[in-house]
Amino acid sequence: MGRGRQKAKHTKVARDLKYFSPDTNYNQLQKELGGGAAPVDPRLEDDLAAWPEYAGAAYVDDDEDEDDDADEVAENKTA
């Protein structure tokens, strides 16, 4: 019996959220999304100095391993 009142409240809340438009601070948003300098972690710097091969861009997984595995399976089937 109370479902109509509950649904009306949910509809009102949904409508308020849909049409709510706060003032946007674009400068703060730019800082949060990477417009500012990244914080420096001394442990990260030590690790990168110890392993310079990982100091480049993000890790890229080459598909060479998958190709090698497929070749080995094909060789095993023919043998």
| Residue of higher predicted confidence among 40 and 23 | 23
Quote the pLDDT of residue 78.
Answer: 60
End-to-end CA distance of the chain: 75
Quote the pLDDT of residue 46.
Answer: 83
Classify each residue of 46-75 as buried b or exposed e, where b means 16 or more C-beta atoms within 10 Å of its C-beta.
eeeeeeeeeeeeeeeeeeeeeeeeeeeeee
What are the structural domain ranges in the chain?
A: 40-79
CA 7 – CA 1 distance, rounded (Å)? 11
**Residue ranges of the alpha helices (H) in the chain?**
3-19, 26-30, 42-50, 64-78
